């Protein structure tokens, strides 16, 4: 199914007879326009909502290009919440899932083209068919206004339904949701191209998961605005294996893996969520090509690169991958021993061993106060884990 802008001269003759009785008309528009639908009053309705809310009308087309649906859409740029209004489907085509398909196409347009973080709509309680259609497309009831509308001797509730951006639906915690909400808005407003990979894309993330982003090359100003615009940064580091990925750890404990690219592969796009602008053919190559020194950073000493592994060890261990968490901790021990730093014998208990290694590291190298605080907070969380689960 495709959607396109409504053309009054071409489309009104098709849709004008879809509302066949007064009760259906009341459920559709709450009597905001005349029944039967007349072009003059319908044009005035569209003009009014365009002036007040910047609504734009659309039609939905089937595989043969025939008009099978109609809706209006607007975006509140302050809240980044879109709104669908005056949804209707050709009654001769009902029962074939076209309404649900049109709503999904409309929300995809809202998320991908207008940068909406959520889409809402209103439906009257008497319109059970429409409500079930919206539920089938992923909408849920947010609130209702009881007795908001009357039709003859009937009293109907006005129900507000909403659907979040699919990426926000997959976020495992408020921390992740808040960041991805920020990222969605930033990338749309700044015309950036990005891919969301890793556990959030796969819908397997836990509350301690990091966020994996592939970012098309940005200028230095935009990179800094993105990283520092979200919150207080505790640590920024660059990986050596693989080379060039930027690790950002915020003071609230959230961590990012930022992989800046000149080129991405088609396979990556197919196995990621695209955020912001679409990637075009010039952005795609047979093999990935990383951008160099974005953001610009001085070469790190080995111990500075190593310190970020305390955080990584903890989040892997807290997420249930205890073997990997312990392996990363051992990597720090190996580094210390290569540096001729004496590490006491470890007892084989992760929390105890972690504290020993952390204290040894701090005795020889200076951890940033903000980063040290983040690690300490995660360590408190790890102390209440039992059998790999939070208690």
Same-domain status, 22 and 157: yes
CA nearest 233: which of 255, 254, 211, 250? 250
pLDDT of residue 237: 87
Same-domain status, 82 and 170: no
Using DSSP's 3-state secondary structure scheme, residue 241 falls into coil
Tokens of 154: 């009937």
| Domain span at 375 | 303-391
Same-domain status, 20 and 97: yes
Same-domain status, 10 and 156: yes
Cβ-contact 258, 215 below 8 angstroms = yes
Which of these three, 300, 322, 355, is where a domain ends? 300
pLDDT block averages, 10 residues each, the chain of length 391: 96 95 96 92 96 96 95 96 97 90 97 95 96 96 96 96 97 96 95 95 94 92 94 89 84 94 94 94 91 64 84 93 94 93 91 94 90 92 64 43
Which of these three, 113, 144, 164, is where a domain ends? 164
Same-domain status, 27 and 103: yes
- Strand locations in the chain, DSSP E? 2-5, 56-61, 67-76, 81-89, 118-124, 140-151, 154-164, 193-197, 211-216, 233-240, 243-250, 255-263, 273-276, 289-290, 385-386, 389-390
pLDDT of residue 381: 87
Same-domain status, 320 and 386: yes
CA nearest 94: which of 72, 66, 68, 61? 68
Which of these three, 279, 300, 321, is where a domain ends? 300
Same-domain status, 175 and 293: yes
pLDDT of residue 304: 79
CATH of the domain at 104: 3.40.630.30
CATH of the domain at 237: 3.30.460
Same-domain status, 39 and 175: no
Same-domain status, 13 and 158: yes
Distance CA 389, CA 391 (A): 6
Cβ-contact 313, 328 below 8 angstroms = yes
Q: How far is CA 94 from CA 12, 126, 201, 354, in A?
A: 19, 18, 34, 62
How many domains are there within the chain? 3
Distance CA 348, CA 18 (A): 72
Same-domain status, 242 and 110: no
Same-domain status, 346 and 387: yes
Distance CA 176, CA 167 (A): 10
pLDDT of residue 297: 59
Residues 6+ apart with CB under 8 A from 83: 53, 73, 74, 75, 76, 119, 120, 121
Tokens of 169: 């639906």
Same-domain status, 108 and 179: no
């Amino acid at each position: 199914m495709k959607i396109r802008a409504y053309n009054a001269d071409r489309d009104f003759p098709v849709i004008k007879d879809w509302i066949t009785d007064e009760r259906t008309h009341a459920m559709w528009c709450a009597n905001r326009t005349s029944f039967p639908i007349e072009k003059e009053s319908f044009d005035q309705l569209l003009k009014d909502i365009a002036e007040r809310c910047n609504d734009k009308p659309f039609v939905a087309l089937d595989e043969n290009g025939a008009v099978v649906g109609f809706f209006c859409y607007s975006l509140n740029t302050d809240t980044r919440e879109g709104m669908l209004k005056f949804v209707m489907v050709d009654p001769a085509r009902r029962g074939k899932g076209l309404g649900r398909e049109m709503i999904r196409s409309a929300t995809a347009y809202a998320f991908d083209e207008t940068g909406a973080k959520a889409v809402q709509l209103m439906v009257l309680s008497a319109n059970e068919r429409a409500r079930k259609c919206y539920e089938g497309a992923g909408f849920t009831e947010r609130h209702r206004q009881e007795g908001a509308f009357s039709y003859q001797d009937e009293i109907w509730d006005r129900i507000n339904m909403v659907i979040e951006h699919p990426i926000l639906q997959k976020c495992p915690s408020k921390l992740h949701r808040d960041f991805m909400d920020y990222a969605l808005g930033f990338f749309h407003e700044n015309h950036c191209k990005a891919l969301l990979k890793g556990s959030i894309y796969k819908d397997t993330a836990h509350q301690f998961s990091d966020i994996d982003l592939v970012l098309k090359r940005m200028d230095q100003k935009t990179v800094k605005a993105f990283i520092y615009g979200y919150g207080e940064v505790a640590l920024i580091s660059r990986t050596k294996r693989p080379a060039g990925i930027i690790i950002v750890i915020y003071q609230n404990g959230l961590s990012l893996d930022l992989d800046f690219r000149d080129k991405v592969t088609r396979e990556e796009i197919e196995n990621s969520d695209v955020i912001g602008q679409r990637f075009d053919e010039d952005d795609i190559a047979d093999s990935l090509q990383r951008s160099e020194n974005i953001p610009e950073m001085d070469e790190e000493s080995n111990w500075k690169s190593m310190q970020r592994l305390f955080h990584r060890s903890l989040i892997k261990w807290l997420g249930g991958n205890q073997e990997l968490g312990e392996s990363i901790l051992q990597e720090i021990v190996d580094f210390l021993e290569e540096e001729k730093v004496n590490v006491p014998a470890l007892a084989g208990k992760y929390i105890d061993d972690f504290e020993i290694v952390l204290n040894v590291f701090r005795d020889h190298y200076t951890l940033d106060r903000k980063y040290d605080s983040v690690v300490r907070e995660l360590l408190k969380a790890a102390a209440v884990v039992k059998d790999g689960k939070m208690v």
